[in-house]
Structure 1
Amino acid sequence: MAPKGRSVKALKDYPEPVHPARHSVLWRQSAFLKNWESRWYCLDRSGFVYAHSPQGMLLCKPVFSGKIKEAIADDKLVHKDGGVMMWGFVVKSDGGSFVHLYSDDKFLRDEWVATMNSSVRSYRHDQFLSDRYNIDYNQPLGTGLFAVVLRAEERSTKASSMTRELCRRGVECGTGLARLAANFWGVQRSRDKGQLAATEGGYEEEEGPRDMGRHSAWLPDAGVAIKVIKAEAYREYKDLVEREIMVWHAVGVHPHIVKLKEVLYSEARVYFVAELCDGGNLMASLANSSNYCERDVARILRQLLDAVRHCHAQGISHSDLKPENIVLLGRSPESPIKLIDFSLTSFFHTATEPGGTPEFVAPELLLQPEQYAEDGCGPSIDIWAVGVIAYFLLSGKTPFHASSMERIIELVKAGQWTFSPHHVWQGISDGAKDLISCCLQLNPNHRPSAAALLEHPWLRAHPTQHRTLLLNDALHEFRAQYGNQGSMLRTSWIRRSGVLRTMPLGQPPGLSGETGMTGGAAAWTTPSSAGLPCSSQAMAGGAALPMDHRQLTARAAHDTGSSCRGSVAAARPVGH
């Protein structure tokens, strides 16, 4: 057992027992009428429970009395209303009772069976993280004050390599096998569409399999990223960590969202195991680009909006969209993007502690924090952030860029912005500007949905129709902010107990000590090539903030009537 107060690195010598957890929608048939009923099921240290929805977990009920004895997959297919195939399994308790549950996703069913049986073993005999993964404790992918992110490889390497080979052969043959293998890995599947999604943005749905073949080199291997939440951070931010676990599970699988593989609890910590993205931070990649143009921006925004649309279809608001929370799956500049960091994510219109990043946060969250804390957020706050990201990707600065935090907050609250300076925007198409204008509507009700934005003519246009004029001004800014000299950091804040406070984000990588609670790009990436930093270090914290930034944000707090410590600080590359 790891002695209390020891660092995460000490877990190598003092491992602690872990127990698996899983959340998702499952189906069952009513006892008498045999009607199909969907419920939200949760397996964690407290037992196996269910509720009518994730938001209703405070009123959850046990599935049966007693502990789980075993879970058995039933390969006899059942057809639900409308002909949907359901994959079943039986969960038995040690008291003799049992329940039949179903999923419309075979691989989700198999994950549930594996998690349940692993949970049974963990209560009978201690199971450790090292039983599941070969972990590199010596070179963390990212470190901060509240979490550390480690690279690891699954111990079931034989099965992983076989699946990878299956996936490769399916892609090469262009057969249904590709779809099967892609569904397993969650690389190119959209649950909403039930089909392969085109990595080039989906301007024509039938191009998905062909794009998959082009990017076959990016199919995942047995590598994973493990974010370890420090014991002290879990105690203080337990509600946020538990919400992230539930919401990330609810997000499900999407080609442009980093996949959560499993969650493990110990007595004092939580471990998030997610897919590993080798491409590093998007902005670091763009800073090294030599031919960056509107075509690239449109491709990135199509993929980002597809991820946002998927979240919104699940009734989920990401709430902290920004460039630092976008990573690349592979090391090619045209690799698919992945959206990360669900630490501020919440369900629509559910009481929450609103937060965000000052230059990307919607003005209504600053103007009416009490209302949004009570009533929760809707999809419109993400649409505002998409507009700011689009503006940033095209020009290199946000529309609310200013020399002080006070001025940034003032501009955001007023919704004041223009396409300036003129020499930067004169070469950018009217279509791109119109997309931004649609997103940056001060009235949240006037902002379009993510699905509607995906139909915008500028995004629907074929890549050959986009301007290829180099965005030199944006490149200049990217290289200054994200190039080899360092990595940009935009600190997130969250409203807690009536005040705004910095999330535990932001210590430069490579420093001693444990963790960052939320994951920025560092959480799920490996150091990129050409000496670029592994990511934006969005997991850092107050300790890394220079004193003048602390004073600056304290003055900004006076302006907003709250205590706001968000700031921007530089971080150095891992290993430097």
Structure 2
Amino acid sequence: MSQQVDSSISVPAPIPSVRALQASPEVLTPVRHGFLWKRSRLFKTWISRWFQLDTSGFLYAVSPKVIKREGQSVLPSPVREVLQLPPKRYRNGATMYGIRVISVGGSCKDLYTDDHAALDAWALDLSRCTQTAREQAAASKASAAAAAASQPPLLLLPPPPPSARAALGGAGELHLSDICEVDWSHMLGSGLFACVLRARMHVTGEAVAVKIIKAESFREYSDIIDREAAVWAAAGQHPHIVQLKQTLRSSDRMYFIAELCEGGGLVERLATSATYCEREVAWLVRQLLAAVEHLHSNAIVHMDIKPENLVFATRREDSYIKLIDFSLASFFYSPTDPGGTPDFVAPELLNRPEYYSKNGCGPEVDMWAVGVIIFFLLSGQTPFQAPTLEAVLLRVKTGEWAFHGRRWALVSEGARDLISSLLKMDPSQRLTASEALDHPWLRRPDSLSQALLQDAVTAFRLAAAASMQQQRTSWVKQASGDLMTTTGTNGTNLSPHTSLSRFAVMAGSVGPASFGGGAAAAVATGMSSAVMGAALTTG
């Protein structure tokens, strides 16, 4: 890459450490700053962000005005290498010049600008950080080795069996035994991006689920996984939300230790009910809304509320439900690549993707999904059901739905009113979680019908049978080394219940899947919603 730099850009002298404090720590002098472009993971559109390289690190934000308050690290660890990328053509015909910035931990970020000289200046300053990063890494390694030499040997887990090693993508030992004993013979599920195993905590003896992010996934999606950990931890403890007990990370893996829910998936349980009625639906909805209200009170939007992400805590008949899977969740109005699941995604995310990518999402998107859930629980189908994924997305974008068919003859007017109050195209017109909990239909459950919702139960049985067949097929393929994938193009091989996380959703088209996906995507990779009773998703 050329070292010619625009004379209008002052190139500072090399800094001792990109993370070192200056003599006057309250004053941060930018080393390099300006707008750069990146490609959105979800919609593959160009997004402009303000980037700043200074003595506090390599940060980015929506604009320079908020960089001090809302600046996020571009990479989770110091810069290791800067590579030149082939030019790309922007939609207005301009040529975009790019660099790939790679961290010590292996994660990377591709950045672009139409100013070749400015890009060279960025590359020069970022490259100056690489030697410092190497020196810091070497010093850290030496310090860790010295500390380890002064401590008793760390008790390691025995090497996992070949099947588990293959699922995790590596043969290394896992340093978890100081916290819990992992049962390598009891794998709850394995997907393309993670593995979930049963474990037992040493101190309490409690059975837990351990979600282990595979090494290659952690390296490529570390920022997404870090966000999931932060949001899930912020959710805290609630009776209707699966609790994250502890998060551990090594240089190339992340471990989530969470409570173990063994009651099975929502649809699988309801498929066996002989007394399923509107009163029971109201009981389930109150629990879901309590969970959503708690998340929203903590400024968290779940982004992927759907039946596959609701599990029963235990196998007891009176077991309550819990909300799982925070792989798409984020804090209110934080810039992010919005995702969701076709049948449950709010229409504004499909109609204005760039706006929500820049400004983030609020609680309204979850309330839309709750409305779809209630419709689904009462009828056994979603309001936007259609033969193809493209048709589903079109119906969602236009808000085309109605109470059709005989299955609604047994449903009260109160239930219909609550659904209609949530499925408003204008997000500001939707009920909040607190308002929905105060709706008359939920305030007087004893007055609701106990007539069997036969059409819904029949639909649940068909869905559960299809899920189990898909699970058995996938396990056979995994045993033979032929792992199934959840990727597809224009809807191929994808269900309307598969998460849109990292899908390119633009004008109804769907591109390759990546991290995330909830139970439905997990089913396609060898895990049923019952397996997801581990209260985790493997992507």
Q: If the TM-score is normalised by the length of the shorter chain, which range does it land in?
A: 0.5 to 0.7
CA contact (8 A) 2:271 2:457 kept: yes
CA contact (8 A) 1:281 1:327 kept: yes
1:489-508, aligned counterparts within 5 Å?
A: 508=474
Q: Unpaired segments of 5 or more residues in structure 1? A: 1-45, 47-52, 60-119, 161-221, 490-505, 516-538
Q: Which amino acid in structure 2 is aligned with residue 512 of structure 1? A: Q
How far 1:540 moved relative to its partner?
8.0
Are residues 488 and 460 of structure 1, via their aligned partners in 2, closer, same or farther at CA, if it must alter by over 3 Å?
Answer: farther
Find 1:477's aligned residue among 446, 459, 471. 459
Give aligned-pair identity as a percent: 44
Are residues 551 and 339 of structure 1, via their aligned partners in 2, closer, same or farther at CA, if it must alter by over 3 Å?
Answer: closer
For residue 358 of structure 1, give the secondary structure of its aligned residue in structure 2.
coil
Confirm whether residue 542 of structure 1 aligns to residue 508 of structure 2: no
Are residues 226 and 556 of structure 1, via their aligned partners in 2, closer, same or farther at CA, if it must alter by over 3 Å?
Answer: closer
Larger radius of gyration: 2
Are residues 364 and 488 of structure 1, via their aligned partners in 2, closer, same or farther at CA, if it must alter by over 3 Å?
Answer: farther
Are residues 556 and 396 of structure 1, via their aligned partners in 2, closer, same or farther at CA, if it must alter by over 3 Å?
Answer: farther
The corresponding residue for 1:144 is: 191
How far 1:550 moved relative to its partner?
6.5
Q: If the length of structure 2 is used for normalisation, what is the TM-score?
A: 0.61
For residue 344 of structure 2, give the secondary structure of its aligned residue in structure 1.
coil
How far 1:437 moved relative to its partner?
0.4
Are residues 57 and 369 of structure 1, via their aligned partners in 2, closer, same or farther at CA, if it must alter by over 3 Å?
Answer: closer
The corresponding residue for 1:429 is: 412
The corresponding residue for 1:335 is: 319
* RMSD (Å), alpha carbons: 3.9
Are residues 509 and 299 of structure 1, via their aligned partners in 2, closer, same or farther at CA, if it must alter by over 3 Å?
Answer: farther
How far 1:507 moved relative to its partner?
9.8
Confirm whether residue 439 of structure 1 aligns to residue 425 of structure 2: no
The corresponding residue for 2:432 is: 449
Measure, in 2, the Cα distance between the counterparts of 1:223 and 1:508: 27
Find 1:348's aligned residue among 321, 332, 346. 332
The corresponding residue for 1:563 is: 511
How far 1:333 moved relative to its partner?
3.5
Q: If the length of structure 1 is used for normalisation, what is the TM-score?
A: 0.57
Q: Which amino acid in structure 1 is aligned with residue 486 of structure 2? A: G
Measure, in 1, the Cα distance between the counterparts of 2:178 and 2:221: 28
Confirm whether residue 364 of structure 1 aligns to residue 308 of structure 2: no
How far 1:465 moved relative to its partner?
1.4
Q: Unpaired segments of 5 or more residues in structure 2? A: 1-56, 58-67, 75-146, 156-174, 532-539
Confirm whether residue 409 of structure 1 aligns to residue 409 of structure 2: no
Confirm whether residue 458 of structure 1 aligns to residue 441 of structure 2: yes
Query: 1:35-71 CA distances to partner (integer Å, 9 max, x unpaired)?
Result: xxxxxxxxxxx9xxxxxx9966659xxxxxxxxxxxx
Measure, in 2, the Cα distance between the counterparts of 1:276 and 1:300: 20
1:5-404, aligned counterparts within 5 Å?
A: 58=73, 124=151, 126=154, 128-156=175-203, 159-160=204-205, 222-404=206-388
Q: Which amino acid in structure 2 is aligned with residue 445 of structure 1? A: S
How far 1:483 moved relative to its partner?
3.7
Measure, in 1, the Cα distance between the counterparts of 2:149 and 2:431: 48
Q: Which amino acid in structure 1 is aligned with residue 268 of structure 2? A: A
Measure, in 1, the Cα distance between the counterparts of 2:344 and 2:410: 24
Measure, in 1, the Cα distance between the counterparts of 2:239 and 2:484: 27
For residue 330 of structure 1, give the secondary structure of its aligned residue in structure 2.
coil
How far 1:137 moved relative to its partner?
1.3
Q: Which amino acid in structure 1 is aligned with residue 391 of structure 2? A: R
Are residues 486 and 380 of structure 1, via their aligned partners in 2, closer, same or farther at CA, if it must alter by over 3 Å?
Answer: same
CA contact (8 A) 1:366 1:413 kept: yes
Measure, in 1, the Cα distance between the counterparts of 2:332 and 2:183: 38
Query: 1:512-566 CA distances to partner (integer Å, 9 max, x unpaired)?
Result: 3899xxxxxxxxxxxxxxxxxxxxxxx9842699994369999996733663769
